[in-house]
Structure 1
């Protein structure tokens, strides 16, 4: 069970960090225009 929790937390963190990077890129694109 603990392993499952760790896996879920890691995958969630990866998703969040990826989304934040993508969001920043979109924000920079919008600011440039």
Structure 2
């Protein structure tokens, strides 16, 4: 995520209208890398 200069991202996989997987990653502050 450093190379793209974003604080976070999330992904979700949906099958037949139901969430089967979800995950979020990131930091609250990009300078201190505090989560």
TM-score, normalised by the number of residues in structure 1: 0.21
In proportion to residue count, which structure has more helix?
1
More strand by share: 2
Higher RCO (C-alpha 8 Å, min separation 6): 2
- What TM-score, normalized by structure 2, do the two folds share? 0.21
